[in-house]
Amino acid sequence: MTAPFIRMMKLSNSSRQVGLKLKRFIFWMLLPTFVIVLILTYYPTVEGSILAFKDYSVFNFQNIHFVGLDNFKTIFEGPEFAIATWNTIWWIAFSVTLQLILGFALALLMRKPFKGRGLYAGIVFYPWALSGFAIGILWSWLLNGQFGLINDILIKMHILDHGINFLANPKYAFISVITVNVWYGIPFFAIMILAALQSIPTSLYESAEIDGAGSIMKFFHITVPYIKPTLVSTVLLRIIWVMNFPDIIYGMTRGGPAGTTNILATYMINIVYFESDYSKASAVGLVIISALTLYTLFYLKLTSSYEMGEL
Amino acid sequence: MRKKHILAKSFRFFFLSLYLLAAVVPLFWIFITSVKPSTEVYTYPLIYWPKHFTLENYKFLFLFANFSQYFKNSLFVSIISSLVAMSFATLSGYIMARYKFKFKKTLIVFLFFAQMIPAYLIMIPQYKMFSDFGLINNLWGLIIVYVNIAVSFSTIMARGFFSRIPRSLEEAALMDGCSRVGAIFRITIPLSLPGLAAIFSFSFVNTWNELFTAALFLSSNSKLTVPVALYSFISKAGIQWNVMSAGLIVALLPTILVFAVAQRYIVAGLTQGAVKE
């Protein structure tokens, strides 16, 4: 369908009619992608924000109408929302920091070639592709209080003298889900940082060695500055991703015991599944979307000023 | 100097082994649990190597717990939606890589934002919308949702892959008398096959793993996908961990296989963009 007029285009690129045809060609090629994203991502985002001010629930399908700020009052009144908000902040801060440090360390260890490095990478990086939810379930078995492998190892190493039911105990449950999230996220950082490390020209190190620089000097004066753009963009993107990653928590505790491991995402999903109050859940969703939008704008501003060399 | 070298080497070896253990042991333990009879699972001290190796748990899953149906549903939904998303992304990604036009930057930001919005945040309005069209509890309805989940990131990736294929190659083919579309099919598409493989695998993994929308949309037992089936397992009281472990292995295996085949391409797709930035 497109072949004839494109060949025509080649003959007379400046012709106005051909310009119009090219425009049409571009339009039709882009259409499927943008229509589906518009209808299934943007429209629901707006619709969801409006639902936050209505009374849509499994008990009220028909006469959905505006109820003002009622949903927000309900969520702000209970203690769960505040707990979930603080947990979200800790969840992001600890997960991303530790993923970065341990992922960076792994990338540095893997930097110089060794026998079987490809295979090693394949095995060590595998958690990255797996379902967070399944990983959560998997770890809840490993952390089982009676028959869990982790307790058994800790007892054998004389760190514990009896098993702890990690996920039933509010004191350990949140630490446990963060630890598993760190485990899950290390490969991603290692992959990104390793690729960046391998793009550093070796000549930089050679000339530094001639100037008598030691390994610590080289690390801080060549390695870190060179991969800084990758570090910054990976961390910034990862923050959004971790904030919206309820899967592991859902597999391990579903926010329990008593809401102590809820982040905003799991809090919202629990309202959908267990209270079936879709408008109340949408109110939580609107809070998340607002935070997300502000953060993304901040991210775009930061990366664009980064590109212009202001940072 | 030499001593220092050996010390550094064993230091490195030690930590590399530590990472390896941390990565392998959890999956290994789940596998061991999945081939044990329940008498060896619920016992103390723990049994590290099964005394009676058994496939009973897998048999139970597929014969009595309807897992073959869930597995088929998941494969169907993930493969179709990834293929559709890949086709759409090929069209739009090619245009975004090759042509200059008005609003191009706006459209890129449009996709970038869309990609930031997670599935669970928009599943309620989608649910409302799809129930108006009778697409709830319907695998095709879920496929439409999954195409949307996959398409924006796929387009961004496709644009990256296409823009790394030099335009001069296409032009050379044109000089040799190839048509423009012919050049796309003979030069650009074959050269971007690794890229397309990466896009497909990435979408496949994401849709295969999706739980929250599927759990809201699907209700009848014959329609469930694997993650929803696992979810219904853990919501029931008294999990049989040997059966659960077999279910986890079944849920994880396809993504491990896809990852084993396509890891190189996926990683290249992800990191090239990052390094360029």
Give the per-residue pLDDT at B271. Answer: 66
Give the per-residue pLDDT at B277. Answer: 32
Compute the distance between CA of residue A192 and CA of residue A30 in angstroms, rounded to an integer: 30
Among A32, A124, A131, select the one facing B209 at the smallest CB separation: A131
Task: List, for residues B106-160, the tens digit of each pLDDT value.
Answer: 999 899 889 889 999 999 999 999 999 999 999 999 999 999 999 999 999 899 8
CATH architecture of the domain covering B61-238+248-276? Orthogonal Bundle (1.10)
Whether residue A258 lies within 8 A of chain B, CB to CB, comes out as no
Residue in the structure block whose two tokens are 């702000």:
A76
Cβ distance A267 to A84 under 8 Å? yes
For residue A75 the two structure tokens come to 């969520």
Question: A255: alpha, beta or left, given left = phi > 0 and alpha = psi -120 to 50?
Answer: left
Task: List, for residues B75-98, the tens digit of each pLDDT value.
Answer: 999 999 999 999 999 999 999 998
**At residue A60, what are phi and psi to the nearest 5 degrees?**
-135, 85
**At residue B45, what are phi and psi to the nearest 5 degrees?**
-65, 155
Give the per-residue pLDDT at A61. Answer: 79
Q: For chain B, what is the largest distance between any 2 Cα atoms, rounded to a whole number of angstroms?
A: 76
User: Nearest 5°: CA angle at A102, between A96 and A105?
Assistant: 135
- Would you say residue B35 has pLDDT above 70? yes
Q: Look at B114 and A106 and tell me if their CB atoms are within 8 Å.
A: no
Whether residue B80 lies within 8 A of chain A, CB to CB, comes out as no
Tell me how far CA of residue B165 lies from CA of A304, B180, B189, B266, in angstroms: 25, 15, 10, 17
Give the per-residue pLDDT at A53. Answer: 96
Q: How far apart are the first and last CA of chain B?
A: 39
Cβ distance B153 to A71 under 8 Å? no
Give the per-residue pLDDT at A177. Answer: 97
- Would you say residue A1 has pLDDT above 50? no
Compute the distance between CA of residue A83 and CA of residue A257 in angstroms, rounded to an integer: 12
Per-domain boundaries in chain B: 19-54, 61-238+248-276
Cβ distance A192 to B270 under 8 Å? yes
Task: List, for residues A121-171, the tens digit of each pLDDT value.
Answer: 989 988 888 999 999 999 999 999 889 999 999 999 999 888 899 999 998
| Interacting residues of A71 by C-beta distance below 8 A, sequence separation 6+ | A52, A53, A55, A279, A280, A282, A283
| Interacting residues of A5 by C-beta distance below 8 A, sequence separation 6+ | A18, A21, A25
- Would you say residue A2 has pLDDT above 80? no
Higher pLDDT, A196 or B170: A196
Compute the distance between CA of residue A215 and CA of residue A222 in angstroms, rounded to an integer: 10
Q: Look at A269 and B212 and tell me if their CB atoms are within 8 Å.
A: yes
Q: Look at B148 and A281 and tell me if their CB atoms are within 8 Å.
A: no
Compute the distance between CA of residue A283 and CA of residue B73 in angstroms, rounded to an integer: 33
Q: In B169-245, which ranges are E strands?
A: none
Whether residue A294 lies within 8 A of chain B, CB to CB, comes out as no
Rounded to two decimals, the ipTM of the complex is 0.90
Compute the distance between CA of residue A226 and CA of residue B128 in angstroms, rounded to an integer: 49
Name residues 20-59 of chain B within 8 A of A (Cβ): 20, 22-27, 29-30, 33, 41-46
Give the per-residue pLDDT at A230. Answer: 87
Give the per-residue pLDDT at A167. Answer: 94
How does the average pLDDT of chain A come out, rounded? Answer: 89
Task: List, for residues A51-64, the tens digit of each pLDDT value.
Answer: 999 999 988 878 88
Higher pLDDT, A45 or A162: A45
Q: What average pLDDT score do residues B220-240 get? A: 89
pTM over 0.80: yes
Q: Look at B22 and A183 and tell me if their CB atoms are within 8 Å.
A: yes
Above pLDDT 90, what percent of chain A?
Answer: 63
| Interacting residues of A44 by C-beta distance below 8 A, sequence separation 6+ | B122, B124, B125, B126, B129
Whether residue A131 lies within 8 A of chain B, CB to CB, comes out as yes
Among B25, B41, B121, select the one facing A48 at the smallest CB separation: B121
Helices H / strands E in chain B, number of each = 14, 0
How does the average pLDDT of chain B come out, rounded? Answer: 89
On chain A, the residues whose CB falls within 8 A of the CB of B20 are 120, 123-124
Question: A276: alpha, beta or left, given left = phi > 0 and alpha = psi -120 to 50?
Answer: left
